[in-house]
Amino acid sequence: MVSSILVYNLTSNIQEDDLQHLQLFTEYGRLAIEDSGETPFQKLQFLVRDWSYPYEAEFGAVGGQSIVDRRLTVNEKQHPELQSLRKHINSCFDRIEGFLLPHPGLKVACDKNFNGRLSDVEPLFKGYLKEFMPLVLSPRRIVVKKIGGNEVKCKDLLEYFRAYVAIFQGDEMPQPKSMLEATSEANNLASLSEAKDSYVNGMESVCGGDKPFINDHILEAEHLRIRDSALEIFSSKRKMGGEEFSQKYREQLEREIDESFGHYRLHNEGKNVFKAANTPITFVSVAMICYTLSQVSGMLYLYSLANLFNLLMIVSFVIMVVW
């Protein structure tokens, strides 16, 4: 699934050309169904403004639903293309609803001085508008967005926005195939991001900033365990595009995990107190050896050599302090 709700705003009635304008979505939906086998969209809402036939269908959701059912009915008297269009629309959405709004009034439509004041809007229109808005904005009516059968997190939406913006930057409408490929790419990137986050969180709990130094062998074993878990998360996610399309994103995930492990290994090495102490211990050892040799040289009356060892001892201490 790639959309929570699509509101199709129409004037006066649901005409045949209005349904044909949905051709891009139905074609995209057909490709998505072939790819994943699932209904690609969650809900289609027909909003008909300026409805002028309340004797045919009453204002509101009930009348709107009757008009939608009537317009989307498939019968053998229709042209094959019209039948196919209606079948595709019905198969692309989990739910299809309609709503009929009355005219807002001549003041709204004709007065050039109309500035949006509610007092100039017909009370009948305002009443049905209050009835319509909760149908699309009420928390009880809002459903969790899904793509490819997976619930979409807020941060994942950014990947989809980037993908769609890229294909809509041209002067022409994109081909349905391009939209499907863009959705498949964003879908795989979202799965990659979730798996990568799982790896990072796991490694942070093992050797994060406040964790003590751990043995390299233990770190390697933990890395392999958490890495396998992250790859399993990526593989278990339902993704669009098929296994061959997803393979390059799995390989990208493996590269990013291995790169992150290199950073964690260096960070862990920086916590090795004994390794960090090797340099000052070396300087102290050199200083102690020089001190011993200077004492032995003094006892043998080799004062020049004793002074040289004393100098080397002092230099060792100075270098250690500077380090």
Kindly list the domain boundaries of the chain, sorted by start residue: 6-143, 180-269, 274-322
Question: Minimal CA–CA distance to 13: which of 62, 74, 54?
Answer: 54
Q: What is the mean pLDDT of residues 39-43?
A: 77
User: Over 90: is that where the pLDDT of 254 sits?
Assistant: yes
Same topology between domain 6-143 and domain 180-269: no
What pLDDT does 111 receive?
82
User: Over 70: is that where the pLDDT of 279 sits?
Assistant: no
**Residue 183 is which amino acid?**
T
Per-residue confidence at 252, pLDDT binned at 50, 70, 90?
A: very high
Q: Tell me the whole-structure pTM to 2 decimals.
A: 0.54
Percent pLDDT > 70 in the chain is 84
Per-residue confidence at 9, pLDDT binned at 50, 70, 90?
A: low
Highest mean pLDDT among 169-173, 244-248, 260-264: 260-264
Per-residue confidence at 312, pLDDT binned at 50, 70, 90?
A: confident
The answer to whether 60 and 51 are in contact (CB under 8 A) is no
Per-residue confidence at 272, pLDDT binned at 50, 70, 90?
A: low
- Ranking 63-77, 101-115, 241-255, 268-282 by mean pLDDT, the lowest is 268-282
DSSP state, residue 3: B
- Domain range 6-143, its CATH number among 3.80.30.20, 3.40.50.10890, 3.30.390.30, 3.40.50.300: 3.40.50.300
The domain made up of 180-269 has a fold known as Methane Monooxygenase Hydroxylase; Chain G, domain 1 (1.20.58)
Q: What is the mean pLDDT of residues 129-154?
A: 81
**Residue 7 is which amino acid?**
V
Please give the Cα distance from 214 to 182 (Å, whole number): 43
Q: What is the sign of the dihedral through the CA atoms of 78, 79, 80 and 86? A: negative
What pLDDT does 164 receive?
76
User: Over 60: is that where the pLDDT of 275 sits?
Assistant: no
Dihedrals phi, psi of 6, to nearest 5 degrees: -115, 115
Angle of CA points 270, 271, 276, to nearest 5°: 70
Estimate the share of the chain in helix, then strand, then coil, as percent rounded to the nearest 5: 65, 10, 25
Per-residue confidence at 76, pLDDT binned at 50, 70, 90?
A: confident
Per-residue confidence at 83, pLDDT binned at 50, 70, 90?
A: confident
